[in-house]
A = this chain, B = another copy of it.
Amino acid sequence: MPHKVTLALDAMGGDEAPTMVIRGAEHFLKSGKQARFVLFGDENLIKPLLNDTPLLRASCEIVHTTEVIASDDKPSLALRRGKSSSMRLAIDAVKDGKADAVISAGNTGALMAISKVVLRTLDGIGRPAISGVVPNRSHDRLMLDLGANSECSARDLCDFAIMGYAYARTVLGIANPSIGLLNIGIEELKGREEIREAASILKTLPGLNFSGFVEANSIMSGDTDVIVADGFSGNIAIKSMEGTAQFMYKLTKNAIKRSPISILGYLIAKRAFTPVRVKMDQRRYNGGMFLGLNGVVVKSHGSASRVAFAHAIEEAYRVVENRVNERIIQELNRLMPELKAAAQLPKPEALSANKMEESAVIA
């Protein structure tokens, strides 16, 4: 019998925990996938919910916890004092080999801080990054970092590029994914220094398909498979996109509701909109993986619905099933010597003082 994937759930994380977590896991199992779950949380709350979730009840165990990390707890405090919390124990289960991955909709900062301390980063990686899938006119693309590190060095950006490359090859199934750096223009002199420096390093790596800078308006319409950003810019970009999509939905919905005639027209045309709805369905993009750790950690939106949480579970499942972390380590081993050599060289296109001045004016 093949090894069945075991997933640790922080049952107490998220706005509507534990209900949403339990129902999300049931929804995941209904799709036909096989997995075992370990639920970390208050069994007095969880047990009654399992009466309505027969598939989950048949394939889970509960680890009773009473402590919860709140969404506004400070990460350092959560790290020191939350040692018997549902989140911490769920991460510990991955570290101890009792689960293959952990999924939490709880406090992002705490989840990252505890994951870093408990699981440690992969050899050669300084900082983990949060990755997420974004819609695109053809196939889905990967973007990272979405908010783990608000400032990044050129080297951090290069690490993210390698991790993203490995992820896109394995989980998204793209043979030789193109890698771009998010910037405010596509010209070489544009943007912040660390981004220009990362570009000058990445383009010397023969093993990586680096395609230059990407502007934010091309994320969804362009051809770049992996978009690399510092966590601040990545977070701004992903939230701007989410906000715009939601805003346009609401505007359109309100417009249609305004008259019976337009409701009629909408009902007639409705089926045509199905592919649009599917492509832009934010629930489908729920689940950001923390790349760069010795273990699989997936973060769900705190406000995720049952269906969205099931997507986060599926993300973790696919990452485990595709042995993404092993593949990332392979890619790191392949590309790290190149990266280290390139990063230690004097920058191939070091900016002269004159060029620096120009870029300050442009940017």
Q: Which of A181-197 contact B (CB under 8 A)?
A: 182, 184, 187, 189-192
**Best-surrounded residue of A77, A113, A237, A263 (most CB of chain B within 10 A):** A237
Contact of A76 among B275, B279, B357 (CB under 8 A): B357
Beta-carbon contact of A358 and B259 below 8 Å: no
A235 is an interface residue with CB less than 8 A from chain B: yes
Q: How far, in Å, is A174 (CB) from chain B's closest CB?
A: 20
Measured CA separation A255–B266 after assembly (Å): 13
- Given the interface pairs A76-B361, A237-B236, the reply to whether A272 lies near B247 with Cβ below 8 Å is no
- Name the residue on B nearest A112 (C-beta): B361
Beta-carbon contact of A272 and B255 below 8 Å: yes
Q: How far, in Å, is A163 (CB) from chain B's closest CB?
A: 19
Beta-carbon contact of B267 and A243 below 8 Å: no
Beta-carbon contact of B76 and A150 below 8 Å: no
Beta-carbon contact of B265 and A247 below 8 Å: no
Q: How far, in Å, is A154 (CB) from chain B's closest CB?
A: 15
Measured CA separation A151–B77 after assembly (Å): 32
- Given the interface pairs A232-B191, A265-B267, A267-B265, the reply to whether A215 lies near B241 with Cβ below 8 Å is no
Report A's interface with B, CB cutoff 8 A: 72, 74-77, 79, 108-109, 112-113, 135, 137, 147-151, 182, 184, 187, 189-192, 215-221, 231-233, 235-248, 250-252, 255-256, 258-259, 261-276, 279-280, 354, 357-358, 361-363
